[in-house]
Amino acid sequence: MNIKFKYPCALLQPFIECYWSWESDNSEYEPYHLPRVIPSTNMEMILYYKEPFSISDHKGDGHRLPQSHFVFWMSEAYSLSLPKEKEMGFVAVRFRPGCFAHFFRGAMDELTETFLPISEVWGASGIELTERVMAVVNFEERIQLIESFLLGKIALHVKNNDIVHFAVTALLNHSGNMKIRDIMHSLHVSERQFQRSFKQTMGIPAKQFQRIMRFESTIKQFMQHDHTYHLSIILAHGYYDQSHFYKEFQELISATPRDFLLDKRYMSLFYNTPTEG
Q: What are the boundaries of each domain within the chain?
A: 2-157, 162-267
User: How many Å apart are CA 101 and CA 150, to the nearest integer?
Assistant: 12
CB of 34 closer than 8 Å to CB of 265: yes
**Position 143 confidence tier, pLDDT thresholds 50, 70, 90:** very high
pLDDT at res. 223 = 76
**Helices within 40-161 (DSSP H only):** 118-135, 139-157
Torsion of CA 98, 128, 48, 102, to 10 degrees: -10
Sheet holding 68-72, edge to edge: 2-6, 16-24, 88-95, 43-48, 68-72, 114-117
Reported pTM: 0.84
Q: What is the mean pLDDT of residues 207-228?
A: 85
Q: Which CATH architecture has domain 2-157?
A: Sandwich (2.60)
End-to-end CA distance of the chain: 23
Mean residue pLDDT of the chain comes to 84
* Greater model confidence, 2 or 6: 6
The top-scoring range by mean pLDDT among 65-74, 86-95, 128-137, 244-253 is 128-137
Torsion of CA 52, 219, 112, 275, to 10 degrees: -70
**Position 262 confidence tier, pLDDT thresholds 50, 70, 90:** low
CATH homologous superfamily for the domain 162-267: Homeodomain-like (1.10.10.60)
